[in-house]
Every structure is written in structure tokens, then in C-alpha cells.
Amino acid sequence: MQHLLHRWRALWNPNRYHGWGRKRNYFEGWYFKFVDPTEQYAFAAIPGISMGSDGRQHAFIQVLDGKQCRASYHEFPVSSFVPFSDRFEIRLGENRFSEQQLALDLPELKGRLTLDGITPWPKMLGAPGIMGWYSFMPFMECYHGVVSLNHLLKGQMEVYGQAVDFTGGKGYIEKDWGVSFPSSWIWMQTNHFDAGQPVSLMASVANIPWIGSHFIGYIVGFLLGEKLYRFATYTGAQMRASLGEREVFLSFKGRRNRLEIVAHKIGGTGELVSPISGNMTGKVNESLQATIEVKLFEDDHLLFEGTGRNAGLEVAGDVGGLLSEEWRR
């Protein structure tokens, strides 16, 4: 009964742990991206828990070094994974993860960063998070949440034994939970724009299983100053998608706004581990060196034009089914 109460509270607070009472066929992970102010260092730290369909369980922290294009996987006993039910906070050995801090004690990263000015995805009636009313569907293969679209960093980290000051750098936090990642998806994120105001983009297009069939689902958030422009399957937005040799082209339009995106694959990638039926046995290559050109229109008026740096970019699985030269829902 207590587990059901914790899960009910987490439903309305997507940043919190959702796996109360789960024993198998389940994963949950948080993605903390942090970039120093000189942009010489770009990392993602991903704490999580894996409960395989075979009953095997373990906790983990993945680290993606976006500049060196390499990733590491640190495994922990499941007993080391300590979530809190009344707030978003995860403890994993000597490592701490919350909306206020990121504290790491790993071979490649040691130190504590304070997260200042967290920008959460806004809650709305019937939509506790980025997935809208899909958040309430109990049979989804994978759920997604955005903890902070943009925030500043304070503090230092030892990076491979050398002190690096991250004060004045930028961060981003999102998460996933469920059974498995989709069979194919395109994902991108950046909040490094020279705009004089907070600007952040997160866009995801994926093949979503649905009651014996599937559909192409998409969720996009573009933060411009204090306003968040949302384009999603559940908002009735339309999309187009295509691929070039080293480019990803995405377009989304709602009633009055249109978002045009061109992501450029630059540099190498690091290989991360992804969940399949709760087991961390999948592979996904992610770049933190991409650049993303963004144009936002209201009717035919250009509201914003800029290029984001240090961008996360993933193109995974057979994405052919996600592509369309014509507008579609």
C-alpha cells in the first residue's frame, strides 16, 4: 500500500522515483548534463536502476565525456540505491543527485556542484509533465520527464584528477523510466545559445508501441526567456523529419507557431548503455558536440534565430519510419 502511495505521488511529480515496489522488467534513470563556462568540458552523468526480466537487479552511474567521446559504466549493488519518496533526491553510494546538487565520487569525476535557477517543465491541469495526458497511461513502454530545461552551476569537480571550476557553467536534467527504450528515436538537446536570455531546446521523436500497434510520437520544448513553446503529439502539433549525410532536419508547427531545427553531427560519439526489458543490454551512441540551428516563427514573423552548441544528439535504431517530407500528426 505504501508503494502505491509513493507511485501516486510520483505520477504528479515526474522528477521523483517511480519504481516503488518494482522487482523486475523495469528501469529508471536521470540524465544530468553539465558544461563548464569555458566549454572545454561537457559531461553527462546518468544514475539509475536496472531490474531485468530475469530478476537480476543492479544500480549504476554512466558517465559520458562529450569532449573525449567516451563513456564509462559504474555498477553498484541495488542496496546502494536510495531514493526519497517526498522529493527528488537519489543517493548512490557517496554520490548524490537532486534539484539542488550533483555530487560525484567516481574515478573520473569527484566533487560537488550546486544547481542554481532550476527551470522545470511547467505542470498543467491534466498534464503533470512533458508527456501530457500520456503520463496517466499505465501500459507505456517508456516514460519521459524533464527536470530542468536550464540552470547555472556553482562549484568544482576533479576531472581525471585535475580541478575544474564549473561556476558559471550550464546544466540540464531529464529522465526516463519504464520497461525499454523505443525501437527507434531521434533526440536532441542544447541550452548553449548566445542570446542574452535563457534559451533551451529539447526535441524527441520516437516509435511508440500502443495497444498492439504503434505510432510516431514527439515531444518538443523550446524555452525562450520565460516562455516555453510546446509542440507534441498530444497538443495536436504537426511535424516533418528528414536526414542528410550529417544533418537532422526537424520541423514542428502548432496553431500559430512553427519551429525549424537543423542539427549538425560534429565530432565523435560515446557509446552509452540502454535498457531492454529492464536489463541494461542495449547500446546507443550520443554526441555532445553537435550544433543545432533553431528558428521560431509566430505566424510568418521570425521570433528567434540562433545556433546552440554542446548539443546532445542521438539517432538510434531504424529511424526510417520516423521520417516524412510532408506535414503529419
Tens digits of per-residue pLDDT, 199-213?
Answer: 999 999 999 988 777
Q: Write the pLDDT tens digit of every residue in 241-262.
A: 999 999 999 999 999 999 999 9
Q: Write the pLDDT tens digit of every residue in 150-163.
A: 999 999 999 999 99
In this structure, the number of other CB atoms found within 10 A of the CB of residue 72 comes to: 15
CB 54 within 8 A of CB 279: yes
The set of residues, in sequence order, having a beta carbon less than 8 Å from that of 129 and lying 6+ positions away, is 14, 121, 123, 135, 145, 146
Q: How confident is the model at residue 3 (pLDDT cuts 50, 70, 90)?
A: confident
Nearest Cα to 189, choosing from 220, 217, 216? Answer: 220
CA dist 75 and 61 (Å) reads: 7
Phi, psi for 84 (deg, rounded to 5): -115, 140
pLDDT at residue 124, rounded to an integer: 81
Strand 89-92, strand 81-83: pairing = antiparallel
CB 60 within 8 A of CB 74: yes
- Range 294-317 average pLDDT: 97
Residue 10 pLDDT exceeds 80? yes
pLDDT over 70 for what percent of the chain?
100
Collapsing DSSP to helix, strand or coil, 223 comes out as: strand
**Where do we find the cell 553539465?**
34
Q: Write the pLDDT tens digit of every residue in 26-84.
A: 999 999 999 999 999 999 999 999 999 999 999 999 999 999 999 999 999 999 999 99
**Where do we find the cell 554520490?**
95
115: β partners: 153
Whether the predicted model's global pTM rises above the 0.95 cut: yes
pLDDT at residue 232, rounded to an integer: 95
CB 60 within 8 A of CB 31: no
E-only strand ranges, 16-167: 26-35, 42-51, 57-65, 70-76, 81-83, 89-92, 95-98, 101-105, 109-116, 142-159, 162-165
CA dist 327 and 329 (Å) reads: 7
- Range 298-320 average pLDDT: 97
3-state helix, strand, coil in the chain (%, to 5): 10, 60, 30
Nearest Cα to 189, choosing from 310, 30, 315? Answer: 310
CA dist 245 and 207 (Å) reads: 22
Residue 11 pLDDT exceeds 90? no
